[in-house]
Structure 1
Amino acid sequence: MTETQVRDSAVSHRKITLLIALVLFAQESTWNFYDNQVPVLLREHVTSAAVVGLLMGMDNLLGIFVQPWIGNRSDNTRTRWGRRVPYLAVGMPVAALFFLLLPWTTSLATLVVVMVLYALVANTIRPLAESMVPDFIAPQRRSRANAVVKIATSLTIIVASLISLFVVDEHPRGAFVIPAVTLLLVTGVLIVKVRDNRSAAYQAALIEDTTASNGETDVPFRQIVADLVTDRDRRRLLLLLTVLLFGGAWFASRSLITPYGMEVLGLTRGEAGGLTLPSGVAYLLAAYPAALCAERFGRLRTIGAGMALFAVAMAAGLIVRTPTGTVVVFCLAAVGAAAFTINAAVALWNMAPSSRVLGTYTGLYAVTWYLGGFGGPALIGAVVDLTGWTWMLLDIAVLAALAVLVIVYLGRLQRRRTTSLLS
């Protein structure tokens, strides 16, 4: 490529990355506001915190089934608009409509119905936007693009909090309009600006369709899973196991910190809940450097180093049992977590055997992450029941250390594979 072509390609990558980040920003704005305010709507009908928690966790349960399915369905779609945009162009306005209906429901039954409908549609569009990163961006630059996307989605937590702070009390129903309108406006931008039939991965998939040995253009989901499980190359399975283990450690550190702060540090409920706020800023600051480190030192090394930092920080929390020390510990852990979350999905995309299955792999990553988020807090909670809250951070460190061991073994397999291909 000439210098001009290289420069034009970089500009194109930046433009599509910002557009994808904008789409996910709009989607996550509704998700985060949903998490902030729908529990309050539920409390108008039920008093049980367990029931509220169960209903609020329903969206993650639906995601386990919906996201791999829609990822695979979009992989097998061929239109003049591409394979992701047609679903997004329809799904995003529908999600906005159901989101707007949430505060207008008048009974528990209607609220739950609208919650289910919103969660179904929102889980459908989420992996499609994420899958456009590997569709458009070359493998060597995907970490940078994913970092920009993660920063955009993390900012929605702040946006949802600001809407709650400044709008909800005066306009409890009108506040839902802001994220919904944002989603609708971004849908218009997406339709005008993006055609993923022009992406490199889509064009590669078309070529693979014409050369498929069995003449079939569709790749069934069961075939992808069977290939993943039976292939002698275990790298993809090991990476998913890493996602499961570290996802468990990460979610346990976030979901159990409030009772830990109250039981071990002697804080009030509000003070304990605020322990992780500075770590959110640390994560944002570390996201893009984590992508650059992956490009310089390798993704698996960066992922392993990040998880090791997370584990060491958690273990150090056992020694530094003060509010300030715990805040520092969680900031260091967030930096390590950024190295993982920015690069793990990219590593899985780059291991995918074909451009025709990138959406399915996005769904598989999401499912594994959600399963870790479900099982990790439960596992650590059970250990806490046996050993006490004092040891909780060390328990989390052990779970993260197991993920480090898996990624070290995966790195050895990767080096062996590289050596065999070069010999």
Structure 2
Amino acid sequence: MKNTWLLGFGFFSISLGWSLYNGFVPFFLDNYLTSTALIGFLMTIDNYIALFLQPYIGRHSDGTQTRFGRRMPYLLIGIPFAALFFALIPLHTNLLTLLIFMLCMNLSMAVFRSPTIALMPDITPESQRTKANGIINFMGGCGAILAFSVGSFLFSFSESLPFFVVSAVFLLALWIVFTNIKEHRDGISLTNTEVPKINYKEELNAPTLYLLAAIFFWFIAIQGMEALFTLYGVNELGLSQSASAFSLTFFSLSFVLSAIPTGLLGAKFGKKKVIVIGVIGLILSFLLLNWVDSVIYLRAILFIGGVFWACVNINAYPFIVSSGSKHSYGTRTGLYYLVSSLAAIISPPTIGLFIDLFGFSVLFLAAAGSLFFALICISRVNDKETQNLATNNL
């Protein structure tokens, strides 16, 4: 597990960077734009890039052969450029330079995100991947918490300072990962002489397609809920903006605290079982939230819901890579981000349309409905069939 904690620094830097980016870049855009909708669209550039570029990068990394390994070259190229353009964002001089720096930063992040994540199954035995995913998500959650706490403190002194600090963390994380993880030494998936041969027809088997559909539907529910919850708290429950936003932190906090334990549960009892429990628990939590009007109960249920979300999210990625061959981890990582990014693009406007038609009270009902479809899809994934397919492709 030592390598997992070391790799976690890569996830820490990614989460730290995205959280700071999402938290403070809208302030820069607001200086030039009056349309909140346009600002919101520009802040989703990463999802559109992820939709097309990350599956390609992930698939391409599966076939990369260098003395540094399959994934490391993408980190060595992408992270320095991401650090550079991240530092340049607060130094923009007008809207055009801001948009150029944002676009270049997003493209740079897309170069190394899938390969970084694919490194986890590359260096981790299948039986330990849920635990490993829990560890790296825990570190990612810590990065997000630091971005909003320490980042806000630094931003109050200088708008550039937190961006400079994160750029330095990017480079530090690259140094830690590069000097401590050697793919040819630590990789368990491929030998140095193997050339990956990927049969995409076999890779996109029925269990994989059902699992991708389940991932899409539960991200529709979570992305829509998180994007619109603050408005729900203000308009439906009468909370202040700060109280509504603070309530959502209970969901995120419990997810971080539950990341490692739910990974251990997935390793012990099976990924699918823990995911199914998590989806059912989220459905019940969201249905209860629809009738809650007390802030205390609201936050308590959100905290419980975060635990169930950890059951789902921590075990999902190891499950998707375990349903295919050892040659396709990068490809499957790209597919995972394709469907999650597609959900991030579709969910807020779709659930927002339901709210326009039926009012804010429909938010958690719509999220629960999407989770119900996710439950149907994950129920169609046969654990034994998945294991057999993965074994046959070794």
Structure 1 and Structure 2 fold alike (TM over 0.5):
yes
Partner of 2:332: 361
Q: Does residue 316 in structure 1 map to residue 303 in structure 2?
A: no
Partner of 1:175: 162
State the percentage of identical aligned residues: 27
Moved more, 184-193 or 255-264: 184-193
Partner of 1:17: 4
- Taking the aligned partners of 1:180 and 1:119, their CA distance within structure 2 comes to 14
SS of aligned partner of 1:275: helix
Give the superposed CA RMSD.
2.1
Instruction: Tell me the amino acid that sits aligned with residue 383 of structure 2.
Output: Q
Deviation, 1:87, is 1.6
- Taking the aligned partners of 2:69 and 2:387, their CA distance within structure 1 comes to 34
- Taking the aligned partners of 2:61 and 2:14, their CA distance within structure 1 comes to 18
Question: Is the Cα–Cα contact under 8 Å of residues 287 and 338 in structure 1 kept in the other structure?
Answer: yes
Deviation, 1:205, is 7.7
Structure 1's 349 and 34: CA in aligned 2 closer, same or farther, altered over 3 A? Answer: same
Structure 1's 284 and 371: CA in aligned 2 closer, same or farther, altered over 3 A? Answer: same
Deviation, 1:356, is 1.7
- Taking the aligned partners of 1:165 and 1:274, their CA distance within structure 2 comes to 15
- Taking the aligned partners of 2:215 and 2:15, their CA distance within structure 1 comes to 21
Partner of 2:361: 390
Question: Is the Cα–Cα contact under 8 Å of residues 92 and 98 in structure 2 kept in the other structure?
Answer: yes
- Map Cα deviations across residues 272-310 of structure 1 (whole Å, 9 max, x no partner): 222111222211221111112112221101101001000
* Candidates 261, 265, 268, aligned match of 1:293: 265
Instruction: Tell me the amino acid that sits aligned with residue 127 of structure 2.
Output: Q
TM (norm. structure 1) is 0.88
Deviation, 1:418, is 7.1
Question: Is the Cα–Cα contact under 8 Å of residues 98 and 117 in structure 1 kept in the other structure?
Answer: yes
- Taking the aligned partners of 2:388 and 2:379, their CA distance within structure 1 comes to 17
Question: Is the Cα–Cα contact under 8 Å of residues 205 and 356 in structure 1 kept in the other structure?
Answer: no
Unaligned 5+ segments in structure 2 are none
Return the index of the structure with the highest Cα Rg. Answer: 1
TM (norm. structure 2) is 0.94
* Candidates 348, 352, 369, aligned match of 1:377: 348
- Taking the aligned partners of 1:234 and 1:279, their CA distance within structure 2 comes to 32
Q: How does 1:342-357 map to 2 (within 5 A)?
A: 342-352=314-324, 354-357=325-328
* Candidates 57, 70, 81, aligned match of 2:68: 81
SS of aligned partner of 2:238: coil
Moved more, 146-155 or 164-173: 164-173
SS of aligned partner of 1:276: helix
Question: Is the Cα–Cα contact under 8 Å of residues 131 and 260 in structure 2 kept in the other structure?
Answer: yes
Instruction: Tell me the amino acid that sits aligned with residue 290 of structure 1.
Output: T
- Taking the aligned partners of 2:163 and 2:360, their CA distance within structure 1 comes to 38
Deviation, 1:254, is 0.8
Aligned residues: 391
- Taking the aligned partners of 1:93 and 1:350, their CA distance within structure 2 comes to 31
Deviation, 1:191, is 2.4
* Candidates 143, 166, 180, aligned match of 2:130: 143
Question: Is the Cα–Cα contact under 8 Å of residues 207 and 386 in structure 2 kept in the other structure?
Answer: no
Deviation, 1:192, is 1.7
Deviation, 1:415, is 4.5
Unaligned 5+ segments in structure 1 are 1-13, 210-216
Instruction: Tell me the amino acid that sits aligned with residue 66 of structure 1.
Output: L
Moved more, 165-174 or 72-81: 165-174
Q: How does 1:18-97 map to 2 (within 5 A)?
A: 18-97=5-84
Question: Is the Cα–Cα contact under 8 Å of residues 196 and 202 in structure 1 kept in the other structure?
Answer: no
Question: Is the Cα–Cα contact under 8 Å of residues 349 and 362 in structure 1 kept in the other structure?
Answer: yes
Q: Does residue 195 in structure 1 map to residue 152 in structure 2?
A: no
- Taking the aligned partners of 2:192 and 2:376, their CA distance within structure 1 comes to 35
- Taking the aligned partners of 1:321 and 1:174, their CA distance within structure 2 comes to 40
- Map Cα deviations across residues 218-262 of structure 1 (whole Å, 9 max, x no partner): 64xxx62x4445xxx410100000000001011111111111111
* Candidates 261, 266, 283, aligned match of 2:238: 266
Deviation, 1:414, is 3.1
- Taking the aligned partners of 1:344 and 1:420, their CA distance within structure 2 comes to 17
- Map Cα deviations across residues 6-40 of structure 1 (whole Å, 9 max, x no partner): xxxxxxxx111011101111222222111111111
Structure 1's 96 and 173: CA in aligned 2 closer, same or farther, altered over 3 A? Answer: same
- Taking the aligned partners of 2:384 and 2:322, their CA distance within structure 1 comes to 15
Q: How does 1:105-184 map to 2 (within 5 A)?
A: 105-184=92-171
Partner of 1:10: none
- Map Cα deviations across residues 68-111 of structure 1 (whole Å, 9 max, x no partner): 11111111111111111122122211110111111111011111
Instruction: Tell me the amino acid that sits aligned with residue 92 of structure 1.
Output: I
Question: Is the Cα–Cα contact under 8 Å of residues 75 and 359 in structure 1 kept in the other structure?
Answer: yes
Q: Does residue 99 in structure 1 map to residue 71 in structure 2?
A: no
SS of aligned partner of 1:169: helix
Structure 1's 148 and 387: CA in aligned 2 closer, same or farther, altered over 3 A? Answer: same
- Taking the aligned partners of 1:335 and 1:205, their CA distance within structure 2 comes to 40
